[in-house]
Amino acid sequence: MEYERYISDGLIEKHFLGFTSLEEEEDLRIHLNIFPELHTEMEDVERRIERAAFKDAPMPPAHIKVALMQRIAREEATRQANVSSRMQNKVYRDVAPPEDKITVHIGWKIFLIFFLSSIALSLLAILLYYRQVVGK
């Protein structure tokens, strides 16, 4: 089958090592959608390459881990401080309205307009009804 060519020719290994051309990358991407077996083979190749890379890799000195962990802790503390300062900046300031102004939510304004309009229309209806009754 076509996917066996990728396995036997080493195109998957070339892909992981970054030696494939644009045409080979596009061809591999198309065949990945067609053949699900290529996904499992790619995972196997990736694991083999990782094992080979870490097998003979020298271990870093112990003091590097300590220095790295301290740096990570400092960066995390800085990030937490930035987050908390941003949260403090979101606190509303000067919430109280000025002494000479009253602020009202838009919902109350709409309710007040509706309420006063209904009173005005009720008075108008009563007036028209009274004119009809008295006018007769």
Q: Is the distance from CB of 14 to CB of 20 less than 8 angstroms? A: yes
Does the residue 93 lie in any domain? no
Q: What is the mean pLDDT of the chain?
A: 84
- For residue 69 the two structure tokens come to 């962990």
> pTM of the full predicted structure?
0.42
91 pLDDT higher than 70: no
Does the residue 61 lie in any domain? no
Does the residue 81 lie in any domain? no
Does the residue 97 lie in any domain? no
pLDDT tens per residue across span 18-74? 888 888 888 888 888 888 888 888 899 889 888 888 888 888 888 898 999 999 999
Does the residue 72 lie in any domain? no
Number of domains in the chain: 2
Q: What is the pLDDT of residue 92?
A: 60
User: Range of 135's domain?
Assistant: 104-136
Task: Specify the amino acid at residue 20.
Answer: T
Task: Specify the amino acid at residue 10.
Answer: G
Does the residue 35 lie in any domain? yes
Does the residue 38 lie in any domain? yes
